[in-house]
Structure 1
Amino acid sequence: MSTVSDHVDVAIAGAGSVGMTLALALKRADPRLSVAVIDPKPVDATRGDDRASAIAAAARRMLVRLGVWPDVAADAQSIDEMIITDSRLRDAVRPVFLRFLGDVEPGEPYAHMIPNDVLFPAIARHALDAGIRTFTPDSVRIFETGDAGSELRLASGTRLSAALLIACDGKTSRLRGLAGIRTVGHAYDQSGIVTTVSHELPHQGCAIEHFLPAGPFAVLPLKGNRSSIVWTERTAEANRLVGLDDFSFEIELARRFGPDWGEIRLAGSRSAYPLSVQIARDLVAPRFALAGDAAHAIHPIAGQGLNMGFRDAAALAETVVEARRIGLDIGSLDVLERYQSWRRFDTLEMAATTDLLNRLFSNDVAPVRLARTVGLGLVDRLPGLKRVFIREAAGLAASSPKLLRGEAI
């Protein structure tokens, strides 16, 4: 490349919630770090979408530590109870096989639902106020890795050097391919329909996951008499449903929703996303790391996609900052291997778990139905096991990074 015109310690490609949270975590822990975010879209405090995200307790603790939570708390709806049913669409009654109460600690729900158009702008405001640099609208066209750092050429023509390049550029990450990192996984013949509904009766902070033969139908509470819907269907059927007029779509919603919330009305746009599981074979290379969907994409059956990205951000920020404090090269493979070993098992475990759950519940085979009904019933009668499950869903493992425990790096 020609002469480099600028230098940063850390360059992050991708200014979504994970990339911006990672940038904020780095700057909060070490204000002397120069951190740049590069994204094809302008980064400002208004960008977002009309979907909502489930934020697990560990991620909430991180947002509290980073100063973001007060900005979103008024719009955050706690999940105080989780109900799981297993039935066919035509069944008149959907018996409850498993019920979780939502506290992981007294007064601390295991998760909250937050609209994305509230969550992302709050993270962005704090990251920009903390002094991160932005190269937008722009993207990394190519990069070359050397002993002293990586040299990046941006689409705008800007040339930038960085001790460490982090790819948070999504499931189809270009940079992952440029780094020579391959993925394993497969596509499901399923798509996830996402929308928001209003309903006549209050939800009382209750989330419901109806396991239906085509896939799970999740009803996740939002502030007011509103809920976010994450609805898995076979891809052909999902495309048909999304193409219906509003009245017909509401009828299909009501068939799956059940009577608990009274009359249902659409309260947002609807869209369908093809579902797959995809895991990067490596999370790091010399002076390069993957985080968020660039590192792993999993089935939404457990609502852990964004939370997995937040766990990446917490682990990678801690790895980089602690290495810098003791004078190590933050882009060296020896340093980055700590991040990889920290996140590898959790990533593979969650991918395998969600894949197994989807295969187990997205079918109507009689012996399998009987086995899962018995299994859910047994779990419901074992309070100790239920507590283990709820803490795992909340991301509160003993080996969690400091930010996920609510501690400063």
Structure 2
Amino acid sequence: MKRIGLFMRIVIAIALGIGLGLITPDWFVRIFATFNNVFGEFLSFIIPLIIVGFIIPGIGELGRGAGKLVGLTAGIVYASTIIAGFLAYAVAYFTFPMFLSATASGHAAQNPGQKLLESYFEIGMPPVFDIMTALLLAFMIGIGITVVQADGLMKVSLELKDIVSKVISTIIVPLLPIHIAGIFMNMTQAGEVAMILQVFIKVFAIILVLHFVILVLQYSVAGALNKRNPFSMLRMMLPAYFTALGTQSSAATIPVTLKQVKQLGTDEEVADFVVPLCATIHITGSTITLTSVSAAILLLNGQVLSLEVMLPFILMLGITMIAAPSVPGGGVMAALGLFTSMLGFDEAMVSLAIALYIAQDSFGTATNVTGDGAIAQIIHYFKKKSKVTAKHKAAS
């Protein structure tokens, strides 16, 4: 199974879960429900540690970058991420209720009163501290490291990041397919799987369209600033897009991204600096996916998709995404705390969000990587402009 990518493992898990849910007795499904309960408790325990382990060194390393250039890049990246989140929210607000309400009402008519099976037993794993405490602590220490240059604390935070990354890559990610298989098995016996699959397909299609739209917007800005055709620039970045689609990793795609960004005519110093940085912090594709998935799950659970709820979530998502671990599904791992603390997701809702996210993770990563070229071209414009301004000042 290690040779099979996470996406294919998730697909196999969903298919097995549906198949077994149709033919197996309730006692068998409850075995998986018990595993899901234990795994869900472990996720609840590890989420605050993921937040602390990734946000602290993420902010610390960002704050130690090359002065104004880092600040400018981070500002543009954050603005790009927030715009992507609001684009996804706006589309979800105006389109999701129409097809989700129809799907849910049809499901209710066909499957009245059916419930998910409960686990045989529960094992409580209370977290060390709650989500909001973890977020506040992570931001305070991360910003503090950059202000007082706390090298020792920075080293400790990087070692904690390595430990948490190892837990994600060796425990959580390998067990996710079993967890998702159990969820779909339980939903199948309860008659809910048809509705979920319909939602999968519709939300997935909308997300792909939004990925294309945000790339066009990013390259339109970069093209306008540099007086170039945005679509010819996008074509130049296609090798990076398809490489990321296969590797499902922004970091693994850096060599190809760097080569294509330089072929765009980007200043070499800018390209060498911006591409590795953006591989970590620029994740507009993932933001679109997480916002869309969150909106769909909220609506399916009868909640109102209000700006009051989604605005803080999107603003925090833009910051939290710099902490996304560089493993497949890393974006959703970084956002787990926001799902529970800001949107009130329970274990089943979190698990569904993970499944929906991972199903399109490679497309989100490809969008993130391709957008790095636009960010590099925007920074290229500002650097060129600052050089011209400096020459004028020197001449006068």
TM category (shorter chain) comes to under 0.3
Higher relative contact order (CA 8 A, sep 6+): 2
The TM-score normalised by the length of structure 1 is 0.23
The TM-score normalised by the length of structure 2 is 0.24
Larger helix proportion of the pair: 2
